[in-house]
Amino acid sequence: MIFKIDNVKKSYKNGEVTEEILKGVNLILREGELTSLVGASGSGKSTLLTIAAGLQPASDGQITFEGKNLTSLNAEQVRKIRAHQFGFVFQFAHLVPFLTVEEQLLLMLDVSESKLKKREQKKEVDKILKLVEMDHRKHAYPSSLSGGEKQRVAIARAIIHKPKVLFADEPTASLDSKRSKDVMTLISNLTKTLNIATLIVTHDEEMLSFADHIIKMSDGQILRKV
């Protein structure tokens, strides 16, 4: 067990009324395992994922990562953990428009305060780009990449600093079914080879074959574990 979500609740104030979006969620992520989160739109999947990733605070409950309770850390401490230990892939690639593919990854190494020397960093970038089969577009800017290519670069950026946990929110939503499969195969392989604990939200039934665990959410609660 590397990542544990304990009775996490989240409510938003909507004017006078308070809406409870997460009603006490429990979840465990393990190294080298891919956990898929499914459920109807609005059931709270993205909310759960972003809270787990430290992108927004929970209203109640505990999130334990390597023995530390994330909910009790301050913003700077959470940022550090995000930069060093977490990787993110979202529905859109969200690459930095004015950096080349190579520079996107170098930036991530920078942010995670990589101890590698400049030359070794470049080698590492080449290695990861080969892994996602994007090494031939190393010097391209995002505007000249296709949707699937961008997403593969985004995945490369999410793992280059060797995170312990990978969060992905519908990473295949903007891709066709062939590309979706490629991206899922990639994430699933990386989870195994780099021994990452991966949490992935998906709408696509086809993608569930890649999951070690499938967790279904409904109305802010976990329905069943498969």
Give dist(CA 39, CA 45) in Å, integer.
Answer: 7
Contact (CB, 8 A) for 129 and 74: no
Total interface residues for ligand ATP by CB under 6 A: 10
- Can residue 141 be called a binding residue for other proteins (CB under 8 A)? yes
Q: Is 91 in the site for other proteins (CB under 8 A)?
A: yes
Asked if 138 and 101 touch (Cβ cutoff 8 Å), the reply is yes
* One of 2, 8, 21, 222 touching ligand ATP (CB under 6 A): 21
Site string for other proteins, 47-86 (x = CB under 8 A): ---x----xx----------------------xx-xxx-x
CA–CA dist 178, 90 (Å, integer): 18
Residue from 44, 54, 142, 163 that binds ligand ATP (CB under 6 A)? 44
Report how far apart the first and last C-alpha atoms of the chain are (Å, whole number): 18
Please, what is the minimum distance in Å from the beta carbon of residue 122 to ligand ATP?
37
71 within 8 A of 62, measured Cβ to Cβ: yes
Tell me the two tokens of residue 25: 């969620």
Task: Decide if residue 198 touches other proteins (CB under 8 A).
Answer: no
25, β-bridge pairs: 8
Cα distance between residue 47 and residue 53, in whole Å: 10
46 binds Mg ion (CB under 5 A): yes
Rounded to a whole number of angstroms, the minimum distance from the CB of residue 224 to other proteins is: 28
- Taking CB under 5 A as the rule, does residue 202 contact Mg ion? no
Q: Tokens in use for 215?
A: 């967790």
Structure tokens at 52: 């787990």
Structure tokens that stand for 187 in this block: 């994430």
Interface with other proteins includes 157 (CB under 8 A)?
A: yes
Q: In the structure, how many helices (H) and strands (E) does the chain have?
A: 6, 10
By CB under 8 A, tell whether 173 contacts other proteins: no
Instruction: State the amino acid at position 94 in one-letter form.
Output: H
What's the min distance (Å) between Cβ of 40 and other proteins? 18
Least distance (Å) between residue 213 CB and ligand ATP: 18
42, interface contact from Mg ion, ligand ATP, other proteins, none, CB < 5-8 Å by kind? ligand ATP
Choose the stretch contacting ligand ATP; rule: CB under 6 A; options: 26-34, 41-49, 96-104, 177-185: 41-49
| 20 alpha-carbon distance from chain centroid | 24
Which residues of the chain form contacts with Mg ion (CB under 5 A)? 46
Which residues bind to ligand ATP, rule: CB under 6 A? Answer: 12, 21, 39, 41-47
